[in-house]
Amino acid sequence: MHCADTSFLCALYRHQSHSERAIATLEAIGGPIVISSLLAYEFRQAVRFQVFLRSKDAHKGYLETEAMSMLAQFENDLESGMLIEAGVILSDVAAEVERLSERHTMRRGARAFDLLHIATALQWQARVFLSFDGLQREVAAAEGLRVLPDANLTP
């Protein structure tokens, strides 16, 4: 099972420095990416928030048309099965996320949603975690997940 975080999804749906690596990784794994409903929410929320930022400062965020295109492609990929949105039982994830918080927050500064994504992957017994976020990569690797794309590749 391959699980992803928001940084990986953003690289898939908006051209940025990591996009080529995200696409190559997706092609290499050759299977669907499993995401939680929490991750789906965080991705959609992040895209919508970028539109808000753009409304306040033309040098920030995303144009609304770009955001709507990203969200439409995301929904298409859910419908096609490239992304699989799987449910989680929060009570099951809660103990895991608390354990991760105890191990990683004071030492590494781990954030709540980041730990939720990793805890979910661990609960699903995933073997691979897809991320470009340095801290999430570090925590996921410390917890025994294989992290892709490989860190030694340049964007």
- What pLDDT score was predicted for residue 122? 95
The residue segments making up the domain with residue 132 are 2-148
**Does any domain span residue 94?**
yes
- Is 18 within a domain? yes
Q: What is the pTM of this model?
A: 0.89
Please count the CA atoms within 13 angstroms of the CA of 113 that sit on its side-chain side: 15
**Tally of domains in the chain:** 1
Low-confidence stretches of the chain (pLDDT < 70) are 151-155
Q: Is residue 12 part of a domain?
A: yes
Distance (Å) of CA 41 to CA 10, 37, 44, 109: 13, 6, 5, 23
One-letter amino acid for residue 112 of the chain: A
Residue 90: how many other CB atoms lie within 10 Å: 12
In a domain, 76, yes or no: yes
Which domain CATH number covers 115?
A: 3.40.50.1010
Residue 152: per-residue pLDDT: 60
Looking at residue 154, its pLDDT comes to: 46
